[in-house]
Amino acid sequence: MSRKIENLDLFALSADELKALAAKVEAASIELAKQKRLEVKAKIEAILTDANLTLADVFDITGPIASMPASPGKLLHVNPANPAQTWSGRGRRPQWFIELTARKGKPRSKKAPAKKRRAKKPRS
């Protein structure tokens, strides 16, 4: 691939020539980014090999779920007649919610329990 662009008059090019040039620029940009990633990867692998380590030894790689904090839970509407029936307020309203709001107005709400986090694996 030629890297030479000297005094290129873009206004002298036709629309088709500009589109072709833009496609070449995009392809070259993608290729350069790919080469840069490969160079960085090779450097990291060389450093790890010299230190007799793996990427998992350096970084705690246990997955995105373990590294994310637990969500506090969504606000749920609870059916007072049957607390097992809840509604998050999203999507279609359940029949019990429609009947309750017609009779009493706004139903009581509660916070849903937070999801449990996965335990991290102990380092050895």
Pair (98, 48) in one structural domain: no
- Here the tokens at position 26 are 């995009």
Pair (58, 75) in one structural domain: no
Tens of pLDDT, residue by residue, the chain (124 residues)? 566 677 788 888 899 999 999 999 999 999 999 999 999 999 999 999 999 988 888 877 666 555 556 555 576 788 888 888 888 877 888 888 888 888 876 666 555 455 555 666 666 5
Number of independent structural domains in the chain: 2
Residue 120 in domain: no
Domain limits at 104? 70-111
Pair (12, 64) in one structural domain: yes
- Here the tokens at position 13 are 């090019």
